[in-house]
């Protein structure tokens, strides 16, 4: 296996009659040996373009790609010792599963016995041994995806590249294949780079996650570090389902207390104390705008909290109630903001009724609205 290092990597597409388009903006990133790295972000953020530059399928405008210590900018894709799994499977419809998996090995003129050994080994790992004689049209979507992954495995590459490989599967099959790919990574101890727009896939599969936006890297961290310690507003809002609630407001000082006051001209605006840790971070922001962030699971119905602290308690109107079984999603209106609380399903919440909620301040965050960065 191998380390992949990107240094000042950029991709610029000619704009024709308009300005050039920078799809990737001079990014630096190291994928460690045997690591499962996920590139995640919304459509157009540059994640697939980055993967294609690593694969050699997209010309590099600036910077370098190194695999196993060697710069591969001018190396053809077939000589980079990588294997790529595409979103659309890219199987040969006239070939059997066996021949689809063996095709690349035949081009490399490996002995027939070695080809058979590798194909049988990969098919056993993926549980498709009984499908080797079938054509792709006789396979389900999940089986076709397994064949595409198997075709990559038989090559024994230094790096696996996976470009949204589960996008064409239904929800249940996606969950199953997510698990299979994670098991496969553990079994092969391979270096894998996986592109997805689905943050649930990213959180559940990656050793580390690279969050991208508009061609830039927003943050690189382990899944739970991204979730608990977002570096900026974009990461806070993108990672998590439902996403983090963000309230626009300002910091006020009242005696020894530091308050957050929501931006809202009505008399129903939210006003609550900031816990000591947040008050320290807000030092220097008194009478200045800030953004308060808190995740839905850190907003609790006061009826389910023993001795809720009145300093962190608010009142809001229920817009929508979504019972999910073990929990309920409450979509609420503060007067200036709509936000979501994830509460225990212990009672019914009617629309347009008022509910008292308490904030778990120990996991809340403050952000600078100008720089978009978290206050530390």
SS3 assignment for 318-355: EEEEEECCCEEEEEEECCCCEEEEEEECCCCCCCCCEE
Q: What's the distance, Cα to Cα, between the start and end of the chain in Å?
A: 38
* Counts of helices then strands in the chain (DSSP H, E): 9, 20
Asked if 22 contacts 34 with a C-beta cutoff of 8 angstroms, the reply is no
pLDDT at residue 346, as a whole number: 72
Cβ–Cβ contacts within 10 Å for residue 240, how many? 19
Q: For residue 280, give the DSSP letter.
A: H
Asked if 217 contacts 231 with a C-beta cutoff of 8 angstroms, the reply is no
- The number of residues making up the chain comes to 376
Structure tokens at 202: 């990213």
3-state secondary structure of 77: helix
Q: Could you tell me the strand order of the sheet in which 70-71 lies?
A: 21-31, 4-13, 62-67, 70-71
- Beta strands at 354-359 and 299-301: parallel, antiparallel or unpaired: antiparallel
> What angle in degrees, to the nearest 10, is found between the helix axes of 112-126 and 141-153?
140
Q: Give alpha helix (H) positions in the chain.
A: 47-55, 97-107, 112-126, 141-153, 171-188, 199-205, 223-228, 233-238, 276-281
CA 185/CA 202 separation, integer angstroms: 14
Asked if 340 contacts 331 with a C-beta cutoff of 8 angstroms, the reply is yes
Q: What is the pLDDT of residues 138-153, one digit of tens each?
A: 998 888 988 998 999 8
pLDDT at residue 139, as a whole number: 92
**Maximum CA pair distance of the chain?**
82
Burial class (CB in 10 A: 0-12, 13-18, 19+), 244: buried
pLDDT at residue 269, as a whole number: 74
Can you give the pTM of this predicted structure? Answer: 0.89
CA 210/CA 27 separation, integer angstroms: 11
CA 84/CA 100 separation, integer angstroms: 14
Q: What is the torsional sign of CA 213, 217, 223, 229?
A: negative
pLDDT at residue 267, as a whole number: 63
CA 55/CA 85 separation, integer angstroms: 11
Residues in the chain with pLDDT < 50?
none
- Among 280, 328, 287, residue whose Cα is nearest residue 304: 328
Structure tokens at 167: 């996008």
Residue 134, Ramachandran bin (φ over 0: left; ψ between -120 and 50: alpha; else beta): beta
Q: For residue 28, give the DSSP letter.
A: E
- Tell me if the bond preceding 242 is cis, omega within 30° of 0: yes
pLDDT at residue 234, as a whole number: 97
pLDDT at residue 1, as a whole number: 66
CA dihedral 250, 254, 258, 262 (to 10 degrees): -30
pLDDT at residue 266, as a whole number: 65
CA 330/CA 375 separation, integer angstroms: 28
């Amino acid at each position: 296996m191998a380390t992949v290092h990107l240094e000042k990597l950029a991709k610029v597409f000619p704009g024709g009659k308009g300005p050039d388009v920078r799809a990737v903006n001079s990014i630096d990133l190291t994928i460690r040996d045997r690591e499962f790295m996920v590139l995640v972000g919304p459509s157009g953020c540059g994640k697939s373009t980055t993967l294609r530059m690593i694969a050699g399928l997209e010309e590099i405008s600036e910077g370098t790609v190194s695999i196993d210590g060697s710069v591969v900018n001018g190396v053809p894709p077939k000589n980079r010792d990588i294997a790529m799994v595409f979103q659309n499977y890219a199987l040969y419809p006239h070939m059997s599963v066996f021949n689809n998996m063996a095709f690349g090995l035949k081009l490399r003129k490996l002995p027939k016995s070695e080809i058979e050994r590798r194909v049988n080994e990969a098919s056993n790992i993926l549980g498709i041994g009984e499908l080797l004689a079938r054509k792709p049209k006789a396979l389900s979507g999940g089986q076709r995806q397994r064949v595409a992954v198997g075709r990559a495995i038989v090559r024994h590459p230094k790096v696996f590249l996976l470009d949204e490989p589960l996008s064409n599967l239904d929800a249940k099959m996606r969950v199953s294949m997510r698990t299979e790919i994670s098991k496969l990574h553990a079994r092969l101890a391979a270096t894998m780079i996986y592109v997805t727009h689905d943050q649930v896939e990213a959180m559940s599969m990656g050793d580390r996650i690279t969050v991208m936006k508009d061609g830039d890297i927003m943050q690189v961290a382990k899944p739970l570090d991204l979730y608990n310690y977002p570096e900026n507003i974009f990461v806070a809002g993108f990672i998590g389902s439902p996403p983090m609630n963000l309230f626009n407001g300002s910091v006020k000082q009242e005696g020894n207390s530091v308050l957050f006051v929501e931006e809202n001209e009505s008399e129903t605006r939210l006003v609550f104390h900031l816990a000591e840790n947040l008050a320290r971070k807000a030092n220097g922001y008194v009478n200045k705008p800030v953004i308060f962030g808190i995740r839905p699971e850190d907003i609790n119905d006061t009826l389910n909290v023993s001795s809720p602290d009145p300093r962190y308690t608010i009142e809001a109107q229920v817009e929508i109630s979504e019972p999910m079984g073990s929990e309920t999603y409450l979509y609420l209106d503060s007067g200036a903001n709509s936000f979501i609380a994830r509460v225990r399903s212990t009672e019914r919440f009617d629309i347009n009724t008022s509910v008292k909620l308490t904030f778990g301040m120990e996991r809340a965050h403050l952000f600078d609205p100008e720089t978009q960065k978290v206050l530390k």
